[in-house]
């Protein structure tokens, strides 16, 4: 990220995500915790985002993750909000609640202090697609609070693009009789 402007990476990722979603006539919703709206902000900075972006929930407080997104309360009580399964349930919940084809979620610790026994820089990014299966990536990020949040946004776009484009490659292989 050295030499890049603060949100240049995020805007490029957002534009590509929206382009791919548009090609597939698919929609997206996001649930954010540590990114606090940055993900949605990057998406809505792209002209025409409303064609595919349904909306977002910034569930910074743990009770909102439970009450608004439907994250299991026992899970939150047992493991805290910084957990891969919490991220997956957030993505599934925002997808369901906002009626989108794809859901993306971010949860983690941007700092300056540890949270839920997790060190600063611990981040989980999740994607849940139309088949209701999810993929979660665990990140261990360095830098200050702003760096961690920006890299979380970039990673969320990368994970979603990987799922969107990976699913397309798998489908092409099956259709063409490849391995």
In a domain, 12, yes or no: no
In this predicted structure, what is the pLDDT of residue 12?
Answer: 86
Residue 6 domain-assigned (yes or no): no
Residue 70 lies in a domain: yes
CA distance 13 to 34: 19
Interval 31-83: pLDDT, tens? 999 999 999 999 999 999 999 999 999 999 999 999 999 999 999 999 999 99
Residue 138, domain member (yes or no) = yes
> Which domain CATH number covers 147?
3.90.950.20
**Assigned domain for 131 exists:** yes
Domain residue limits at 91: 26-173
Q: Is omega for the bond preceding 112 within 30 degrees of 0, making it cis? A: yes
Q: Taking CA 44 as the corner, what is the angle to CA 133 and CA 106, rounded to the nearest 5 degrees?
A: 40
Rounded (10°) angle between helices 8-23 and 145-175: 30
Q: Any idea what DSSP says for residue 118?
A: B
Q: Is the dihedral of CA 14, 17, 22, 28 positive or negative?
A: negative
Number of domains in the chain: 1
């Amino acid at each position: 990220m050295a030499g890049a402007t603060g949100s240049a990476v995020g805007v490029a990722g957002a534009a590509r995500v929206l382009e791919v979603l548009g090609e597939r006539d698919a929609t997206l919703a996001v649930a954010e915790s540590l990114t606090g709206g940055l993900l949605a902000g990057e998406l809505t900075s792209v002209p025409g985002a409303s064609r595919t972006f349904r909306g977002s929930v910034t569930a910074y407080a743990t009770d909102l993750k439970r009450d608004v997104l439907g994250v299991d309360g026992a899970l939150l009580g047992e493991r805290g909000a910084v957990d891969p399964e919490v991220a997956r349930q957030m993505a599934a919940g925002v997808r369901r609640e906002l009626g989108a084809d794809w859901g993306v979620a971010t949860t983690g610790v941007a700092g300056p202090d540890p949270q839920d026994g997790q060190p600063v820089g611990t981040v989980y990014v999740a994607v849940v697609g139309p088949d209701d299966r999810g993929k979660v990536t665990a990140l261990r990020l360095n830098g200050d609070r702003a760096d961690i949040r920006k890299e979380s946004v970039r990673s969320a776009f990368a994970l979603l693009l990987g799922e969107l484009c990976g699913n397309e490659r798998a489908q092409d292989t099956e259709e063409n009789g490849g391995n």
